[in-house]
Amino acid sequence: MVTKHQFELNSQVTIYPNPVNDSFTVKANVSSLNIYDITGKLVSEFKGSYRMGESFNVSDLNKGIYLIELKNEVGQKSNSKLIKL
């Protein structure tokens, strides 16, 4: 059984809208969210206690493809791809 603090290990965390213009929302509770460019360089990070439905502003990022690493309160990680328009 999955508690409200766990990511489902067999599914990706949903990020929407994706592609994104200025901000996106994550369908999960998140304690940290790191955004990496395709070379693996950390370009943005959010740390705190973010609840499902909160928005993350990425208007300062250049157009392109990014990798997102999310972590929940118990340290579980999930990865996703983000396309910035």
pLDDT of 55-70, one tens digit each? 999 999 999 999 999 9
Domain span holding position 66:
15-84
Please check the confidence at residue 8 and state whether its pLDDT lies above 80. no
Cα–Cα distance between 55 and 75 in angstroms, integer? 21
Q: What is the CA radius of gyration of the chain?
A: 12
Residue range 30-50: average pLDDT? 96
- Output the CA torsion 34→20→24→33 (10° steps): 0
The answer as to whether 8 is a domain residue is no
Is 5 inside a domain boundary? no
The reported pTM is: 0.84
| 34 within domain boundaries | yes
Quick: pLDDT tens for 11-29: 567 899 999 999 999 998 9
Per the domain annotation, does 59 fall within a domain?
yes
Give the count of domains, the chain: 1
Tell me whether residue 40 is in a domain: yes
Kindly report the CATH number assigned to the domain that includes residue 22. Answer: 2.60.40.1930
Model confidence at 10, pLDDT cuts 50, 70, 90, reads very low
What integer pLDDT is reported at residue 73 of this predicted model? 87
Residue 24's SS3 state is: strand
CA–CA gap between residue 39 and residue 46 (Å, rounded): 19
User: Does residue 19 form part of some domain?
Assistant: yes
